[in-house]
Amino acid sequence: MNTIAVTIGDPAGIGPEVAVKALAALPADERRGLRLIGTRAVLERACEIARVSLTFADAELTEGNSVALESVDVPGLPIPHGKVHAAGGEAAFRYIERAVSLARDGKTACIVTAPINKQALNLAGHHYDGHTGMLSALTGGASSFMLLASERLSVIHVSTHVSLREAIDRATTERILATIRAGYSHLRRMSVARPRLAVASINPHGGEGGLFGREDDVMVRPAVERARQDLIDVVGPIPADTVYSRAYQGEFDLVIAQYHDQGHIPMKLVAFDTTVNVSIGLPIDRCSVDHGTAFDIAGTGQADHRNMMVAIGYARRLAASRANRSR
């Protein structure tokens, strides 16, 4: 089953708009195999705002401008654009919950998610740090990793949505090693024959021999050495102020970032509209756009759907690789 499910995110944000714009931009034959998960009234409003002509069908096989829709009804929808609302958080949760159920039942090969608002999610009583924590809980608590992929630079994170102080505590040798292994396995799955990995240092200049901290010598270096014993082509720790430039120039296929901003800042600088957020380590496949709900422009028709198009393309690659592994 190569069906791809696309959740529309928080109804008050740009998720519904970028979803319908992306699907409208695809040829009809490419829309087959895609299934939107959202609320019909929200999607019909998005079509009006985006000035696209789509109709929504309950069946997978669609004709013309029709799109397969798994409609999820949520009390209180539609809600005003650009507002943090508990109903928006509840809707975002239910869309993802339904997508996970489809994936676990083998009815979809990959989930593509539009952005959610963490404050709205918590207002609705769903206390997660975002998609990553929610998906981990919904799939049985598996530890997962956030990988940001683009054409010339890709990054996987040791930690993500925690404070910088907590991120340093989480950068244990075992967690760094697990992140290296997860990134390496993913690249192999995506047909990179000999992945070349680099691990960014925690401290400036890699700690400068202990002058700026011992974490790189005590936690990072042992993880790299153990990964090399597994025959993984990995080097580090490399100072974070140079490793991304080296990777961008083609020296490495993947950088292991120690915390959220260390990985996100270079990615959003060089590939803001084309980065795909991929969840690694879950029992299901999921990728996402790498932008937020953009409440400031929601409902105006200005949202750019290019990132959603790239995410759908990456999902197809994940689905194909899943099918190949099952043969």
To which H or E segment does residue 48 belong?
Answer: helix 40-50
Does the pLDDT at position 207 exceed 70? no
Q: Mean pLDDT throughout 112-132?
A: 91
Same domain, 134 and 189: no
Same domain, 48 and 155: no
In terms of Cβ atoms closer than 10 Å to its own Cβ (0-12, 13-18, 19+), residue 317 is middle
Is the model's pTM score more than 0.75? yes
Q: Mean pLDDT throughout 21-44?
A: 90
Q: Per the structure, how many domains does the chain have?
A: 2
Mean pLDDT value across the chain: 91
Same domain, 155 and 58: no
Q: Among 279, 299, 317, where does a domain finish? A: 279
Single out the residue of 118, 223, 113 nearest to residue 175, CA to CA: 223
Same domain, 44 and 128: yes
Does the pLDDT at position 1 exceed 90? no
Cis peptide preceding 78, ω within 30 of 0? yes
d(CA 313, CA 309): 6
In DSSP notation, 135-192 reads: HHHHTTS---EEEEE-SS-EEEES--SS-HHHHHHH--HHHHHHHHHHHHHHHHHTT-
Same domain, 183 and 257: yes
Same domain, 154 and 195: yes
Single out the residue of 20, 62, 64, 63 nearest to residue 41, CA to CA: 20
Q: What is the CATH number of the domain that holds 157?
A: 3.40.718.10
Same domain, 90 and 183: no
pLDDT in tens, 148-188: 999 999 999 999 888 889 999 999 999 999 999 999 999 99
pLDDT at 178: 95
Does the pLDDT at position 326 exceed 70? no
Same domain, 244 and 327: no
- Domain extent for 309: 1-143+281-327
pLDDT in tens, 212-237: 778 899 999 999 999 999 999 999 89
Does the pLDDT at position 294 exceed 70? yes
Q: How confident is the model at residue 63 (pLDDT cuts 50, 70, 90)?
A: low
pLDDT in tens, 42-55: 999 999 999 998 88
Pairing of strands 254-257, 197-200: parallel
Same domain, 126 and 41: yes
Q: Mean pLDDT throughout 189-198?
A: 94
Same domain, 156 and 113: no
Does the pLDDT at position 61 exceed 60? no
Same domain, 229 and 289: no
Does the pLDDT at position 323 exceed 70? no
d(CA 88, CA 323): 34
Amino acid at the residue 321: S
Pairing of strands 154-157, 286-289: unpaired
Same domain, 97 and 229: no
In DSSP notation, 226-245 reads: HHHHTT--EEEEE-HHHHHH
